[in-house]
Amino acid sequence: MLWVKSFHIVFVASWFAGLFYLPRIFVNLAMVPPGSDAERQRLRLMARKLMRFTHLLMVPAVVLGVWLWAGYGIGWGPGNGWMHAKLAVVLLVLGYHHACGVMLKKLEAGTNTRGHVWYRWFNELPVIMLVVAVCLVVVKPF
């Protein structure tokens, strides 16, 4: 199980690296001045490639997490409320990942209505979710 846990941590860290950087590309895309088509195309290409790579990292992170959850039997009985909270955070992260995909499609279609400041705030959410998840796993507050 330690191998599974090790690879889970590696894939989660890598997945989050993508979730940290992808909205940063969205910030830059929202700031591209009109008429800068080459810059816009380059940023869209970067975002598409990063989104694809982030998808590939998410799958083993989730699969290994489920393996750990089933293997350790965590989450059942008293004193395991932290796991339910962590699973809720994981669902939020999956929703955030999906939202990034939706935003990327809008940015590619030219139908984006959000500005760079909004994306800057959106970019902070995975940091908060990662801090909460790690604290829940390490501290097990309830």
Is a pLDDT exceeding 90 seen at residue 7?
A: yes
pLDDT digits (tens, 9 = 90+) for 35-78: 999 999 999 999 999 999 999 999 999 999 999 988 877 766 67
Please compute Rg for the chain using Cα positions.
17
Helices in the chain by DSSP H: which ranges? 2-31, 37-72, 81-109, 116-122, 125-139
pLDDT digits (tens, 9 = 90+) for 67-106: 998 887 776 667 788 999 999 999 999 999 999 999 999 9
pLDDT at 71: 82
User: Whole-model pTM above 0.75?
Assistant: yes
Please give the C-alpha separations between residue 71 and each of 23, 53, 63, in angstroms, as whole numbers.
34, 28, 12
pLDDT band at 11 (very low <50, low <70, confident <90, very high): very high
Q: Where are the domains of the chain?
A: 2-139
How long, in residues, is the chain?
Answer: 142
> Using an 8 Å Cβ cutoff, are 48 and 104 in contact?
yes
